[in-house]
Chains A and B, each alone.
Chain A
């Protein structure tokens, strides 16, 4: 229950006479847009764990959820009282647009008392219940400084407040308490055991009363971030001190296993071997198998999908036949890479680009990025291990010649010591041989799709490009840059900085080959449709790929996104997982699984309204 001028929290209000559109929202106002940007930035910083798609943050007073005596202005942030204020029945209130999301952990808003109105009226008002108000509301009243908790009788709480004062309200969703602040000073806990889903609310009762809200539009008077830092430290301390009991001794083994399996999964063969040697552990997978996977991954990431398909078929016969969806995805990608001019099938036509199959470009740069990208780090870490892997490092150009097949002008796709040679004719044959794979049924199709999605999800690869810090993403730009430097030629690549970017590398024969390949792909799609029924995803994929040809500059067209080397990463990890699975190995490294579980767990905490999720962010622990 509310008496004059209170800053409160309420589960909801039932306005007697709702009034709409009192506020004046000027979207075109540049000052407003600037403020909006500042607000977004501040809210993101204060409440990083909140997913606003699920639980939007309060940003203004709600023109819908208010009493008729309430007027709103200034982008629905200013509240003024326009009733008579003769008795308590004239009290009115307004709540914010949204309830406070639990994922905030700690939520804070401030209200500035612009004008206290006519004092004599407010002093006359008795503290009696006001009809229409929900039971579970919590308030702090300016007249007497009392706090009110679901009843008409207040408890002495803090000082009174009046014109010019800034009153803040902080909801701690970790321990479900609330405290108020006055002019930046904390007044101490007002309520405990708060229920969930409370709205910031303000109640007025005196003519002339005006208050301005600050939901983050302005810097707060109270240092809420300092308060948050204390709780962050508390939660981190709790995590650090969490008892791990009996299994203490096993930790080292568990951690070593996690690191080892991660290295193996991504095919860092030499590093994995060195790690295993140092820690005296065993690697489950056979060395050659790791190297093979590494090679295939590198091919995909370099945009040589055709070669990758060939290699896969050669090394893992039957794998792609059993995964027609994967094959289709690969082929689609191959087409895109042809447009790009990177696939070997078109590249061999290119005059400007020598046969460079001998060097797997940028191979060492596979390392997933954590946080800020550091090209130097990549190339530095590249040297020695890749040599022992038998893969030519990009910066050792001269040594290429030592390997067999380097000088070969044919399209032999491999030159590494552990070489698996196959000819161009093979690759074209393989496309034809594809369609007869018919063992998998519809269920499997959908299953594998889901799995690909799941992989993508648990790896924490967010669609949002700003979340690049997650594991499992590879920055392709660097790989190609490294390649450019090492090969010393202007590969008609996808690098945005490359000025001579042309369709299929600008070669007529290559373009013809691409068109032919497109037809084959179309055929494959139709075949798959016949066997498994229509597949919307496939259709879309194909459409997108073909759309590239409709534009004179495919790199700057609405579907040009596909040409981004980043797009290779998903298909690459899908292929890698499929290979691992076919070898009865886990298709994801336990490290990723653990990371994915932790991330998911934190998100689950937000959904079950555990406020501490805000300060137990997984990214806080990834450096």
Chain B
């Protein structure tokens, strides 16, 4: 009922509002330019802080009109200079009359009259056209171009102020403004010499560009814009503030960074770091943090920049001082972090170890705002990701590991009861906090076993990861799996906490239909969980993981293919016949051989690893070789002939050695002279590893086991004879003198078997 009653009421109110708003817009079309100016000023006062009014005016088409007035002013001022530029007039009329009227009050009056007359409307053009009439011309010439510009600038500035005010409204407002091509119009306005006007344009542009709905590319479409903005940086603290804000928000890609860098952003902005205005210092700092992010070129340049005799890194370090605003400390720490990650500052530099890192840890403390804690944790995670020493330092700084546990306590039970507003705030940040904490834990535990232990011993840590894996927010899931992955590098954790908390269950669930970035992390973690000593291996096998892994090997992403085949390799290690059979069946020989020709070396290596694991223990070797022997021998030949790294070849020779260990499989080598020649070649190779692997292979072929069957014995004899014929004995002889002790030992053993 209430709804029904309300609906018509609302409409009538709305129409009333639009009616009053229409009045403002109509006045922009008034023939009297003074009325137009007054109309713009009234509009300015009406929209301040009133989002509804802003929306109304936009709907009623105020924006195109304002832009028209703005551009009209610009073009006519150009026209004016053209007209006035004729030398004759200025000289003849100007010099005479100017002296007469100058200093008298007439001058000002004249200016006012002229200003109002010529102001911004269509009339303006007329005004310029009418310049022929003597009086006008006199006035115009007399008062000089400055006054005329002033007059025009007043209206234009007011127009921009109204536009800026409209932009301060909702995102929809901004969309409408952008759709009306406000950006090119305002950028055009920056050419005007008047500082007040420029500042108004920049302020409006700033408001538009910092909105997420504005396509940043619009800043870069006209190649003259960036250099012009750079040149405006020296005009006033306001231009510095606005322009650096625009840069910070419009620098989203490495290309943007390069454009700004190439136009001298660093040299132009660096002096602002010691500006008297805090705002300017802060915006310059933010700009640098955006420019330096993952950009080696910028970072390398930054370290050598001097500001007032100090290195930029020292200036940044000073900004880390604890009594400065948190925003400044945090942003300065980001700059130093990015410079460090780009290799411009060493990770053991005092300014990183004793300043940046402790500052970031402080940002994680309970005293900071939730947003600051998120940023602090993410930046810290990024800073120490590649450096175990920094990880070790961070892990003992200010109880960081325990401090992070607090990130999971939002929304807290207290806030839920006492304060709805607070609850809302907490809820909004809860996901961000959790993902930041997971990221930081992942980074902390990526190398050091003691730190991993410390993390898993933190209150409810494993439970938190497990529930994080199934959270709705993809960001949290990804961070949680990253954390799990980092911890899964620990043998001890795999054996204990991972099994106790059955982390494999949510992990398996996560692997179904997850986006690629999650899949990479999850499958990589799964690889570790499938290691033979992991107690989770068994339940995972039973959950039908093979199909899933096989499908990963068909992915377009090399990382996923590697992880899939890697997991299968781990799974096949010392597995029973049933598992091996299942792997071969599920993967299919075709896919297996496709992987052997994979362009990614990692994939190839892990596939060879898988083959090697499959071809272990004699019965398994014989069985697999009896069914797939031909293809495998082909693949092996191909790899040994191809251009591959030592590691790949070694792995392949190891596979051959495994095959040679089989009972029936041996024959596949013995009957293949090509392969035997290859083995011979690698026994004489310059690389000891390959020599060893090849010798292993031969050694397996000539092996005679005591107590074995008579026919096997005869087979052995035959093989030994054939190998002697092919000259292997001589090579083995030589190898017994080899420098490499392993190789020497292996050759001697083989020779003993010959003699036996």
Residues of A within 8 A of B (CB): 158-159, 179, 182, 184-189, 223, 226-227, 229-230, 232-233
Inside 8 A of A188's CB, which chain B residues have their CB? 397-400, 403
Measured CA separation A185–B403 after assembly (Å): 16
In the complex, the answer to whether A184 meets B354 with C-beta atoms within 8 Å is yes
Measured CA separation A158–B401 after assembly (Å): 12
Inside 8 A of B3's CB, which chain A residues have their CB? none
Inside 8 A of B323's CB, which chain A residues have their CB? 229-230, 232-233
Q: Can you show 11 pairs from A to B with CB atoms below 8 A apart? A: A184-B353, A184-B354, A185-B353, A185-B357, A185-B397, A186-B358, A188-B399, A223-B354, A226-B322, A230-B323, A233-B322
Inside 8 A of B397's CB, which chain A residues have their CB? 185-188
Measured CA separation A159–B400 after assembly (Å): 13
> A184-B354, A186-B358, A223-B354 provided; 12 other pairs, C-beta below 8 A?
A158-B396, A179-B398, A185-B353, A185-B397, A187-B396, A187-B397, A187-B398, A188-B398, A223-B355, A226-B322, A227-B322, A230-B323
Question: In the complex, how many angstroms separate the beta carbon of A228 from the nearest chain B beta carbon?
Answer: 9
Inside 8 A of A230's CB, which chain B residues have their CB? 322-323
Measured CA separation A436–B358 after assembly (Å): 76
Nearest 9 Cβ contacts at the A-B interface: A230-B322, A233-B323, A188-B399, A188-B398, A229-B323, A159-B396, A184-B354, A226-B322, A186-B398
Inside 8 A of A232's CB, which chain B residues have their CB? 323
Question: In the complex, how many angstroms separate the beta carbon of B182 from the nearest chain A beta carbon?
Answer: 42
Inside 8 A of A189's CB, which chain B residues have their CB? 399
Measured CA separation A219–B336 after assembly (Å): 25
Measured CA separation A586–B396 after assembly (Å): 60
Q: For residues 378 through 436 of chain B, which have their beta carbon under 8 Å from a beta carbon of chain A? A: 393, 396-400, 403
In the complex, the answer to whether B358 meets A185 with C-beta atoms within 8 Å is yes
In the complex, the answer to whether A226 meets B398 with C-beta atoms within 8 Å is no
Measured CA separation A185–B398 after assembly (Å): 8
In the complex, the answer to whether A226 meets B399 with C-beta atoms within 8 Å is no
Question: In the complex, how many angstroms separate the beta carbon of B402 from the nearest chain A beta carbon?
Answer: 8
**CB of B321 within 8 Å of the partner chain:** yes
Question: In the complex, how many angstroms separate the beta carbon of B421 from the nearest chain A beta carbon?
Answer: 21
Inside 8 A of A179's CB, which chain B residues have their CB? 398
Question: In the complex, how many angstroms separate the beta carbon of B385 from the nearest chain A beta carbon?
Answer: 19
In the complex, the answer to whether A229 meets B358 with C-beta atoms within 8 Å is no
Band of interface residues on B: 10 to 19
Inside 8 A of A187's CB, which chain B residues have their CB? 396-399
B353-379 toward A: CB 8 Å interface, digit per residue (1/0)?
111011000000000000000000000
Chain B residue at minimum C-beta to C-beta distance from A159: B396
Inside 8 A of A158's CB, which chain B residues have their CB? 396
Measured CA separation A158–B396 after assembly (Å): 6
Measured CA separation A230–B357 after assembly (Å): 17
Most-contacted residue by chain A among B323, B355, B393 (CB, 10 A): B323
Question: In the complex, how many angstroms separate the beta carbon of A89 from the nearest chain B beta carbon?
Answer: 32
Measured CA separation A229–B323 after assembly (Å): 5
Measured CA separation A500–B96 after assembly (Å): 71
Inside 8 A of B353's CB, which chain A residues have their CB? 184-185
Measured CA separation A581–B407 after assembly (Å): 65
- Other-chain residue from A159, A185, A229 in contact with B322 (beta carbon distance below 8 A): A229
Measured CA separation A187–B353 after assembly (Å): 14
Q: Interface residues of A: mostly helix, strand, loop or mixed? A: mixed
Question: In the complex, how many angstroms separate the beta carbon of A445 from the nearest chain B beta carbon?
Answer: 51
Inside 8 A of A185's CB, which chain B residues have their CB? 353-354, 357-358, 393, 396-397
In the complex, the answer to whether A182 meets B322 with C-beta atoms within 8 Å is no
Question: In the complex, how many angstroms separate the beta carbon of B16 from the nearest chain A beta carbon?
Answer: 42
On whether A182 and B396 interact (CB within 8 A), knowing A223-B354, A232-B323, A233-B322, the answer reads yes
Question: In the complex, how many angstroms separate the beta carbon of B396 from the nearest chain A beta carbon?
Answer: 5
Question: In the complex, how many angstroms separate the beta carbon of A345 from the nearest chain B beta carbon?
Answer: 56
On whether A226 and B396 interact (CB within 8 A), knowing A184-B354, A185-B354, A186-B358, the answer reads no
Measured CA separation A188–B400 after assembly (Å): 8
Measured CA separation A233–B393 after assembly (Å): 27
Question: In the complex, how many angstroms separate the beta carbon of A189 from the nearest chain B beta carbon?
Answer: 7
Measured CA separation A230–B363 after assembly (Å): 13
Inside 8 A of A223's CB, which chain B residues have their CB? 354-355
Question: In the complex, how many angstroms separate the beta carbon of B368 from the nearest chain A beta carbon?
Answer: 13
Measured CA separation A189–B323 after assembly (Å): 20
Chain B residue at minimum C-beta to C-beta distance from A233: B323
Measured CA separation A272–B412 after assembly (Å): 59
Inside 8 A of B403's CB, which chain A residues have their CB? 188
Inside 8 A of B398's CB, which chain A residues have their CB? 179, 186-188
Chain A residue at minimum C-beta to C-beta distance from B457: A156
Inside 8 A of A184's CB, which chain B residues have their CB? 353-354
Question: In the complex, how many angstroms separate the beta carbon of A333 from the nearest chain B beta carbon?
Answer: 47
On whether A229 and B354 interact (CB within 8 A), knowing A185-B393, A187-B398, the answer reads no
Measured CA separation A442–B399 after assembly (Å): 67
Measured CA separation A233–B323 after assembly (Å): 6
Measured CA separation A158–B402 after assembly (Å): 12
Question: In the complex, how many angstroms separate the beta carbon of A192 from the nearest chain B beta carbon?
Answer: 13
Measured CA separation A321–B393 after assembly (Å): 77
B301-330 toward A: CB 8 Å interface, digit per residue (1/0)?
000000000000000000001110000000
Question: In the complex, how many angstroms separate the beta carbon of B367 from the nearest chain A beta carbon?
Answer: 10
Inside 8 A of B355's CB, which chain A residues have their CB? 223
Question: In the complex, how many angstroms separate the beta carbon of B355 from the nearest chain A beta carbon?
Answer: 8
Chain B residue at minimum C-beta to C-beta distance from A157: B399
Q: For residues 722 through 756 of chain B, which have their beta carbon under 8 Å from a beta carbon of chain A? A: none
Measured CA separation A184–B353 after assembly (Å): 9
Inside 8 A of B400's CB, which chain A residues have their CB? 188
Measured CA separation A158–B454 after assembly (Å): 12
Inside 8 A of B321's CB, which chain A residues have their CB? 226, 229
B590-632 toward A: CB 8 Å interface, digit per residue (1/0)?
0000000000000000000000000000000000000000000
Chain B residue at minimum C-beta to C-beta distance from A227: B322
Question: In the complex, how many angstroms separate the beta carbon of A292 from the nearest chain B beta carbon?
Answer: 47
Measured CA separation A182–B399 after assembly (Å): 13
Question: In the complex, how many angstroms separate the beta carbon of A248 from the nearest chain B beta carbon?
Answer: 26
Chain A residue at minimum C-beta to C-beta distance from B397: A185
Measured CA separation A185–B355 after assembly (Å): 9
Inside 8 A of B322's CB, which chain A residues have their CB? 226-227, 229-230, 233
Measured CA separation A223–B351 after assembly (Å): 12
Question: In the complex, how many angstroms separate the beta carbon of A226 from the nearest chain B beta carbon?
Answer: 5
Measured CA separation A416–B396 after assembly (Å): 76
Measured CA separation A13–B546 after assembly (Å): 68
Chain B residue at minimum C-beta to C-beta distance from A234: B323
Measured CA separation A206–B672 after assembly (Å): 71
Measured CA separation A188–B362 after assembly (Å): 10
Q: For residues 498 through 538 of chain B, which have their beta carbon under 8 Å from a beta carbon of chain A? A: none
Question: In the complex, how many angstroms separate the beta carbon of B323 from the nearest chain A beta carbon?
Answer: 4
Question: In the complex, how many angstroms separate the beta carbon of B459 from the nearest chain A beta carbon?
Answer: 14
Measured CA separation A125–B327 after assembly (Å): 49
Measured CA separation A188–B354 after assembly (Å): 14
Measured CA separation A186–B355 after assembly (Å): 11
Q: For residues 234 through 276 of chain B, which have their beta carbon under 8 Å from a beta carbon of chain A? A: none
Chain A residue at minimum C-beta to C-beta distance from B394: A185
Measured CA separation A158–B400 after assembly (Å): 11
Chain B residue at minimum C-beta to C-beta distance from A189: B399
Chain B residue at minimum C-beta to C-beta distance from A236: B323
Inside 8 A of B358's CB, which chain A residues have their CB? 185-186
Q: For residues 562 through 596 of chain B, which have their beta carbon under 8 Å from a beta carbon of chain A? A: none
Question: In the complex, how many angstroms separate the beta carbon of A149 from the nearest chain B beta carbon?
Answer: 16
Question: In the complex, how many angstroms separate the beta carbon of A158 from the nearest chain B beta carbon?
Answer: 6
Chain B residue at minimum C-beta to C-beta distance from A182: B396
Question: In the complex, how many angstroms separate the beta carbon of B278 from the nearest chain A beta carbon?
Answer: 15
Measured CA separation A186–B321 after assembly (Å): 15
Measured CA separation A230–B396 after assembly (Å): 21
Chain A residue at minimum C-beta to C-beta distance from B400: A188
Inside 8 A of A233's CB, which chain B residues have their CB? 322-323
Question: In the complex, how many angstroms separate the beta carbon of A330 from the nearest chain B beta carbon?
Answer: 49
Inside 8 A of B396's CB, which chain A residues have their CB? 158-159, 182, 185, 187
Measured CA separation A229–B396 after assembly (Å): 23
Inside 8 A of B357's CB, which chain A residues have their CB? 185
Measured CA separation A229–B329 after assembly (Å): 13
Question: In the complex, how many angstroms separate the beta carbon of B397 from the nearest chain A beta carbon?
Answer: 5
